[in-house]
Structure 1
Amino acid sequence: MTTTVHPSVARARRRRTAVPYLLLAPALVAFGVFKAYPVVDSLLLSFTTGSGAAARPAGLANYRRLLDDPLFWTALRNTAEILVVQVPLMLGLALLMAVGINSALVRWRAVWRLGVFMPAVTGLVATGVMFAFLLDSRHGAVNWLLDAIGLPVVDWFGDPFWARMAVVLVLTWHYTGYNAVIYLAGLQGVPKELYEAAMVDGAGPVRRFTAVTVPALRPVLLFTVVLSTIGTLQLFDEPYVLTGGGPDNATLTVSMYLYQNGFRYFDFGYASAIAYALTLLVSVLGAVQTRLMGEREK
């Protein structure tokens, strides 16, 4: 038996069905215009050479050029070296900081949380300018302090090694508190019964940290490791403001090299190829980290 739906009821149903799409329409249009279109256009641009009306198809020439470009590999090596040093240092300090703040012996936790998080809300350009003054070889406060306690001063921006360490220092100062607050939120979700059971079994502070705290925080650790890795691979602001990529390209990162090709040399096709090479690298590393830490969790 067929049920006949009154036209007014059918119209009401269509209106109710259309309402969610109407509400989503502004966000979908904005996503399409400002996200999806630039991504697709950049991909198409990576297969061209020249700029503007002079752009012409180039096939895979830009990607082949990447393989033979020594400056690209220098930028990639610099980024990798900063990543390998900075991410473990920052996350290790953040975890220890979070455990300290979470201790029952600490008072005024809200004040401590605010204090450790403050660097994260400082603008990246302002942070770079501030550390440029602090690490100045002649008049910087850091070298003045080193000299005052009898240690040799450091040529922070003239020596390639110390220039990279200056970038690591700035990144660690800026993002450690941000990750510490994330870890602190995770620690507050760990059942106290686990620590009490470990204490009954005779576990000391170090053993409780390795056997209870770290396993309980594994999903949070995975989140921060992947997020920090992606952020460091896209590193631009700090070395751009602090060192300008010098000395002798020692702090040139992949994102800075992309910027130089796109907005200094107006080679947008090659810059787009660099962007997609970086996207592929970020995706592969993120997938590998997720897979490895996920297998450990099992």
Structure 2
Amino acid sequence: MTAAAPSVDGRTPLAATPRPDARVRRARLRRRAVPYLLLAPALVLFGVFKAYPIVSSLLLSLTTGSGSVTRGAGLANYRRLLDDPLFWTALGNTGRILVVQVPVMLALALLMAVGLNAALVRWRVVWRLGIFMPTVTGLVATGVLFAFLLNTESGAVNKALEAIGLSGVDWFGSGFWSRMAIVLVLTWHYTGYNAVIYLAGLQGIPRELYEAAMVDGAGPVRRFTSVTLPALRPVLLFTVVLSTIGTLQLFDEPYVLTRGGPDNATLTVSMYLYDNGFRYFDFGYASAIAYALTLIVSVLGAVQMRLMGERE
């Protein structure tokens, strides 16, 4: 075995072994790298299928033209939005549906949840399944179903109204009633979903709060307003924001039921976006509509969280 060469001063050098602190640093680096390696596939997929389309559509909103022939337009598409009466019509229709449908649906969902949470209700599992079933029904199938039910001449709803002495409603020939038809479809489809969420929130409220309120002499209404509603504030905020976003993005139901008619009375922002993008192939303007809708959703969500969020 060859001996180590002596140094200049005559002493034998130590073997070239890594210092302990260097090994510790390398081990720490490996441990820190493991989470990023595990996240890498998800980050790559997010970048390819989420971030890239978002950035591309933003750049596309700054162009004009149809198909593959486009040119830079700056903010022209956004200025066009401000002067587009059809866009404001679509936004107004969406807003009218929103201010009616969301409060009615959430109020019904809360009443259903309170009823199902009552100890006297029998077969609660069956009732929960029954109210949740409309949620899993396809939106297109729901629209086709209600198109038959609300048919002016032979629909079951008008037949039922006539059976009790009321006149039938021209559901799809009147602007007001066509919007109410969409409200009816949305309420039927999503009330059970929100009721199940409220039911989970109700079951998480400690019984001691209700017992203390009863000891203080609070009746059912007082307990509901002073105990139930404050305890459900985070759940209420979640459902209000989620329902608002969903209604602002409304597309399937009016597209199947009314195709935006009569006379654009049920044209929504998402339908107008679709028409510009896939009927007229004006992708730049359609992208501008999408970002305008995103801004509206963000502002409304922030306002709702400010008004309904937790207070110190």
State TM-score, norm by structure 1: 0.95
Matches within 5 A, 1:203-214: 203-214=218-229
Aligned to 2:63: 48
Q: Is 1:190 aligned with 2:205?
A: yes
Q: Is 1:244 aligned with 2:243?
A: no
Whole-angstrom distance in 2 between the partners of 1:274 and 1:171? 23
| SS class of match (1:55) | strand
Residue 26 of structure 1: how far off its partner (Å): 1.5
Whole-angstrom distance in 1 between the partners of 2:107 and 2:164? 27
Aligned to 1:128: 143
Aligned to 2:275: 260
CA contact (8 A) 2:64 2:72 kept: yes
Aligned to 2:7: none
* 1:174 aligned to which of 159, 173, 189: 189
* 1:156 aligned to which of 144, 155, 171: 171
* Larger helix fraction of residues: 1
Whole-angstrom distance in 2 between the partners of 1:52 and 1:250? 29
Aligned to 1:99: 114
Whole-angstrom distance in 2 between the partners of 1:175 and 1:128? 13
Residue 181 of structure 1: how far off its partner (Å): 0.5
Whole-angstrom distance in 1 between the partners of 2:29 and 2:306? 44
Aligned to 1:143: 158
Unaligned stretches of 5+ in structure 2? Answer: 1-17
Aligned to 2:127: 112
Whole-angstrom distance in 2 between the partners of 1:188 and 1:30? 38
Deviations 1:39-87 (Å, cap 9, x if unpaired)?
0000000110013441000111100100100000000000000000000
Moved more, 79-88 or 24-33: 24-33
Residue 117 of structure 1: how far off its partner (Å): 0.8
Aligned to 2:13: none
Residue 228 of structure 1: how far off its partner (Å): 0.6
Moved more, 200-209 or 143-152: 200-209
Deviations 1:6-43 (Å, cap 9, x if unpaired)?
87776655444333222212211111111101100000
Whole-angstrom distance in 2 between the partners of 1:156 and 1:31? 43
Aligned to 2:43: 28
Residue 254 of structure 1: how far off its partner (Å): 0.4
Aligned to 2:14: none
State TM-score, norm by structure 2: 0.91
Computing the radius of gyration from Cα coordinates, the structure with the larger value is: 2
Q: Is 1:219 aligned with 2:237?
A: no
| SS class of match (2:246) | helix
Residue 248 of structure 1: how far off its partner (Å): 0.6
Residue 193 of structure 1: how far off its partner (Å): 1.2
Deviations 1:207-227 (Å, cap 9, x if unpaired)?
111111111101110111111
Moved more, 191-200 or 229-238: 191-200
CA contact (8 A) 2:67 2:283 kept: no
Aligned to 2:15: none
Whole-angstrom distance in 1 between the partners of 2:191 and 2:32? 47
Aligned-partner residue type, residue 292 of structure 2 = A
Unaligned stretches of 5+ in structure 1? Answer: none
Residue 197 of structure 1: how far off its partner (Å): 1.6
Q: How many residues align?
A: 295
Aligned-partner residue type, residue 156 of structure 1 = W
Whole-angstrom distance in 2 between the partners of 1:60 and 1:71? 19
Aligned-partner residue type, residue 118 of structure 2 = S
Q: Is 1:284 aligned with 2:299?
A: yes
